[in-house]
Structure formats: structure tokens, C-alpha cells
Amino acid sequence: MTANLFGWSDQAWQTLDQFGILFGDLMLLTSISGLVYGLYKRNDIRQWLTRNRFPSIGGRPELSRWQGLIFTVSRANVPAWVIGQVHPEAVGLLLTYSSQSEGEQIKAQARQIGINVISRHIDNPDDPAEVKQKTAEIVRAMQADGIDPIAVDVTGGKTPMSLGAFMAAEEASIDTLYVTAAYKDSKLDMATASIIAISQAGVRG
């Protein structure tokens, strides 16, 4: 009679063999499930893999290509100026209690020239997570209306607002922009203003 390896009994080896078969079947099932899920969710997976890669940073973007603009609002003058430069089909406003009246000015101007306006109120402008969520809500609402491409202007608002809006834009793979201008008599001189890109999702560097 030949002794088994390690001196284990036949029953022990049969149990181990059965476990190996079961483990192999489970691995096969997991692989098949992963393949099916990957085929079904391939666009979501591709977006997750390419998120926050910052494909193109800075530069002077092509203004006429944006159909939708989303603003973090503090004052009405900058969004109003950008709207006049870009002529979008839709505008999104991220408003706080302190910028509500400024937002009403932007809404009035935009609607007067036939631009659809979507707004969200930010309860806590120091919470980037809230701003990120509400920016994403506006993006989805615009996309549902067929508005594309979209850009987020992070010039206005507090720094956490800008950060939250920027993160939402990166996750949605849309552009972010900033308005730069010189100051004159302690106020922005819009005659010197220009739009620069923070991140251009549709442009490969």
C-alpha cells in the first residue's frame, strides 16, 4: 500500500480535491460575472478609469462651443459678461443667501434673451460636498435637455464652492473655466477681462 503525501488520509485528500473543484467553479463564475458586468457597464468603467486625469490644463478655450454654462455666483457682473461672450442656450446658477439678489439679476438678463436658467441654492457655501452634489444636479438637468457641451465657471463664490463645482465638473468630464481681470478703483475692470481654461475635458494635451 502506497502512503499518501504528507501522510494524509484518503478522506483528507478527497475533501481537499472537492474544495479545489468548488473553488475553481466559483472563480469561473466570478470571471463570467465580471465579464458580463464589464460589457454592460463599460462606459461607466471607462469614465471611472479616466476621471481626474486633467486632459488639458489652462489655455484659451473656444468660447462658442459651450451650449451650457454653470456659475458659482458671488456678483452678477462676471456671469453676465461671460454670458454675453459665449451666448449659451442654458445657464446654471449656484446661489447662496448672500448672492440671491445677484442671481436674480443674472436670471432676468438671461431670460430676456431667451436663455433657460436652472438654479440651485447652496445652504452651506463652506461645504464642497453640497456644492459638488448640486452642480452635478444642474449638469444632469442640462444633459437631459440635450445641452452639450457644458462648462463650469468657478470664478465666483467662496473657495470651497469653487472646489466642489470643479470636482463635479471633473467627474462629469466637462470643462472648467475662470475669468481673470484687472482691478480699477477696487473693482473688476471688465474691459480687461478674459476667459481662461482650468481644465478642458474635450481637449487632449
| 50 within some domain | no
pLDDT digit string, tens, across residues 37-70: 656 666 665 555 555 555 555 556 566 678 999 9
| 167 and 73 share one domain | yes
| 119 and 19 share one domain | no
| 30 and 120 share one domain | no
pLDDT digit string, tens, across residues 140-174: 999 999 999 999 999 999 999 999 999 999 999 89
| 157 and 118 share one domain | yes
| 154 and 103 share one domain | yes
| 56 within some domain | no
191 has a pLDDT exceeding 70? yes
pTM, rounded to two decimals: 0.71
Domain count of the chain?
Answer: 2
Chain mean position to CA 106: 23
Chain mean position to CA 201: 10
Preceding amide of 149 cis, omega within 30:
yes
More confident residue, 131 or 42: 131
| 34 and 119 share one domain | no
Residue 142, domain extent: 63-199
| 90 and 189 share one domain | yes
